[in-house]
Amino acid sequence: MSCMQKLDVPANSPEPKWTRRCLNCKNRVHNCCPSCRYDLGNIRCLALERFAESLELPCKYHSLGCHEILPYYSKLKHEQHCQFRPYNCPYAGSDCSITGDIPTLIAHLKDDHKVDMHDGCTFNHRYVKLNPHEVENATWMLTVFKCFGKQFCLHFEAFQMGMAPVYMAFLRFMGDDSEAKKFSYCLEVGANGRKLTWQGIPRSIRDSHRKVRDSQDGLVVQRNLALYFSGGDRQELKLRVTGRIWKEA
């Protein structure tokens, strides 16, 4: 019996499961058999399908530490969520395409983006802008902190929220979400007897900078209040953001 079977699929029927499995390969060989060069047509190879189902392959991130051996048809889904897959560069001030593991990204941030690196679980940063009425969708500052043997990215920036200009500070964890949830942090800004505080869980750098920012998951300060905290004639922004990171018991 031939292993090649012609398919008679009604036009209005749901897509057969095999088409999702074979479509990518057929497209790659331009619907032409790579051995004999004959047109494949609307056929399937049952023997090869059964053979593919029996295959178990290593994750493509094996060299990065993943030791999973997976059935052929579940390998792609695993790789989309594998904890060993490379991270994207967390620097938001440019469209950086660099990916890698955490040590690679730390070196990249330090050498290529000139990011400040600090040891310790507390921070005290002063942000100054001569003309606070110029609000741009760009990162003002990214600082990396190392504590508890992990790295955290502190973002501070100005952007438009609707028609209102705001300033926002938030923390991201350089690792996966399951690890990020083991930590908490707080941020505080204020002056003249008033203050704003924020407490939360750092987001993993698996979540993009824009996703975290747009969710407002951090300390958000309206411009009028930020200028009030700055004192003086309100013609210059001077904000001091303090905070700390701790590990949950």
Distance CA 5, CA 203 (A): 51
- Give the bridge partners for 240, in sequence order: 126
| Structure-model confidence comparison of residues 83 and 183, the more confident one | 183
- 3-state secondary structure (DSSP) of residue 20: helix
> What is the identity of the amino acid at 142?
L
Q: Are residues 33 and 156 in the same domain?
A: no
Long-range contacts of 59-68 (CB under 8 A, 24+ apart): 59/84, 61/85, 61/86, 64/101
How would DSSP label each residue in 132-165? TT---SEEEEEEEEEETTEEEEEEEEEEEETTEE
| Structure-model confidence comparison of residues 67 and 236, the more confident one | 67
Q: Are residues 232 and 128 in the same domain?
A: yes
Distance CA 44, CA 19 (A): 9
Distance CA 44, CA 22 (A): 8
- Give the bridge partners for 173, in sequence order: 152, 204
Distance CA 99, CA 90 (A): 9
Does 84 fall in a domain? no
Does 72 fall in a domain? no
- Give the bridge partners for 190, in sequence order: 195
pLDDT over 90 percentage in the chain: 37
Nearest to 114 by CA among 86, 95, 93: 93
**pLDDT tens column, 168-178:** 999 999 999 99
Q: What is the pLDDT of residue 233?
A: 67
Q: What is the pTM of this model?
A: 0.73
Does 93 fall in a domain? no
Residues in the chain: 249
Q: Are residues 135 and 234 in the same domain?
A: yes
Q: Are residues 42 and 144 in the same domain?
A: no
**Mean predicted lDDT score pLDDT of the chain:** 81
Strand pairing report for 87-88 and 99-100 = antiparallel
Q: What is the pLDDT of residue 198?
A: 96
Does 91 fall in a domain? no
Q: Are residues 237 and 115 in the same domain?
A: yes
Does 135 fall in a domain? yes
pLDDT over 70 percentage in the chain: 78
Distance CA 220, CA 198 (A): 9
Q: Are residues 146 and 23 in the same domain?
A: no
Task: Return the residue matching tokens 């975290």.
Answer: 212
**pLDDT tens column, 18-77:** 445 566 677 777 777 777 777 766 666 666 667 666 677 888 888 888 888 888 778 888
The answer to whether 22 and 44 have CB atoms below 8 angstroms apart is yes
| Structure-model confidence comparison of residues 27 and 246, the more confident one | 246
Does residue 7 register a pLDDT over 90? no
Q: What is the pLDDT of residue 9?
A: 42
Q: What is the pLDDT of residue 90?
A: 92
Q: Are residues 113 and 210 in the same domain?
A: yes
Does 3 fall in a domain? no
The pLDDT-based confidence of 1 (bands split at 50, 70, 90) is very low
Does 173 fall in a domain? yes
Q: Are residues 112 and 221 in the same domain?
A: yes
User: Which positions ≥6 away from 206 have C-beta within 8 Å?
Assistant: 87, 176, 177
Q: In total, how many domains does the chain have?
A: 2
Does 180 fall in a domain? yes
Helix 17-28 to helix 46-54 angle (10° resolution) is 100
Residue range of the domain that includes 32: 12-54
